[in-house]
Amino acid sequence: MRRLRRNDGLNLLSNHLLSGRVPMMTLVHTLAVAEYLNFRHAANALGVAQSSVSARVKALEEDLGILLFERHARGVRL
């Protein structure tokens, strides 16, 4: 998957949102990861399994064709 410039990602995401193709819970999970910069902490805050958060974010990234997060051993970076 390719990295993108911030504006590219916003345009892709807004197009998907306007078309109604992104489930609300996927957005909630993705925003939690962006807030906590950690999948486990985001999952704990949401009260769901870490694998659920990971799967939703991965599915969104694949649907958009871009990486939303840079993954590292101790968390993620936008």
Query: What's the CATH fold of domain 6-77?
Result: Arc Repressor Mutant, subunit A (1.10.10)
Q: What residues does each domain of the chain span?
A: 6-77
Between 33 and 8, the more confident residue is: 33
pTM greater than 0.85 (yes/no): no
Residues 16-69 pLDDT 10s: 666 667 889 999 999 999 999 999 999 999 999 999 999 999 999 998 889 999
pLDDT for 10? 61
The DSSP annotation for the chain comes to -B---HHHHHHHHHHHHHHT-S-HHHHHHHHHHHHHS-HHHHHHHHTS-HHHHHHHHHHHHHHHTB-S-EEETTEEE-
